[in-house]
Amino acid sequence: MIRFLLTKTNKVTKGLDLKDKTCLITGANSGVGLEMTKCLNLCGCTVLMACRNTYAASVVAKNTCLKPDSLRLYELNLASLRSVRKCSDDLLNKEKKIDIVILNAGIFGLPWTETVDKLEITFQVNYLSQYYLLMNIEDILADNARVVIISSESHRYVTLPFNEILTPTEETLSLPKNKYSSIKAYNISKLCGILAMHNLGYRWLNTKKTVISAHPGSFVKTRLCRNWWLYEAIYTGMKPFTKTIAQAASTPLYCATSSDLNGLSAIYYKNCERCQESDLASNLQLSFRINDLTKDIIRDRVTMSELPVSLSDTRQKHDVEHNIEDSLLTNYSN
């Protein structure tokens, strides 16, 4: 298996010429994000590194990337919607076109923490803020842009009561302290990412834009596990049996760059192969409801002038009486 993964990793970006491409990566300064930055930079791609600490990111980039002149840094604190908006404005002002977006940043293992926006931090950082960022910069996405949302197999462990599937609330996603566990919050955030993929895939159905979710690997030893010594010990113990960071980057890179995936959208990948997500994650009606809820959560926390058109438009219809044509669903499911 490891030999197979090594072969896959070496093949993903071999011979790629991305000189005319621009890629935005969140959390690009460490772990899988940094590995993807290095590989895309080597292929000539202009990489926009969206990171909380731009100074540290610049130091790391100069020491690890062969073409540092092709890197541009943007400050982004995903625990603050105001910071996300500022980063979005900077991108809109400075960039003409973005061809690839990789929503990679993530946190895990924190005690219950509330952000300045009064949201549970794992939900906001892993999902909400990155979705808000994407919607803010939609106007400068290339006509054939490809978006990769980093997900996880752990999304399969989320179960929701029937009433929360029908009418999810803010507490369904942004867990209150009395219902919180770090694992549950992480799993929910990854489920939200896949549901967002389906919603975007449906909304972009008649365009050339595509969106894919990618699972890098389980128990990959990165800074993700740094927040609690127990997780650090578990990930360290699992290290001989799991992917390296370079191997973990192979699936997201494949999803971001492979011509094999041209025209395909709203699909979930692991080990560089298509994989079926959970029933809950593939529920298109739920993806509409979560999208509407996401809009409401953001609207409650930003001014109207800070809302992109995609978040201020009319709500999507997803009631039981709303019938989607069979032919349209067939096209959507590729």
Alpha carbon distance 240, 61 (integer Å): 27
Both structure tokens of 60: 């790391």
| Closest C-alpha among 81, 105, 100, 80 to residue 27 | 105
E-state strands within the chain: 22-26, 46-51, 71-75, 98-103, 141-150, 210-215, 267-270, 273-275
Spatial CB neighbours of 206, under 8 Å, sequence gap ≥ 6:
none
Alpha carbon distance 88, 267 (integer Å): 26
Alpha carbon distance 99, 166 (integer Å): 35
| DSSP H helical ranges for 155-228 | 162-166, 170-173, 182-203
CA distances from 98 to 141, 145, 265 (A): 5, 7, 18
Among candidate residues 127, 132, 186, 268, the one labeled active-site is: 186
Look up 180 and say whether it is catalytic: no
Question: How many Cβ atoms from other residues are within 10 Å of residue 85's Cβ?
Answer: 20
Alpha carbon distance 105, 37 (integer Å): 13
Type of residue numbered 9: T
Both structure tokens of 312: 């201020």
Our measurement of the distance from residue 108's CA atom to the centroid of its chain's CA atoms, rounded to an integer in Å, reads: 14
**DSSP structural state of residue 224:** G
The residues that are catalytic are 186
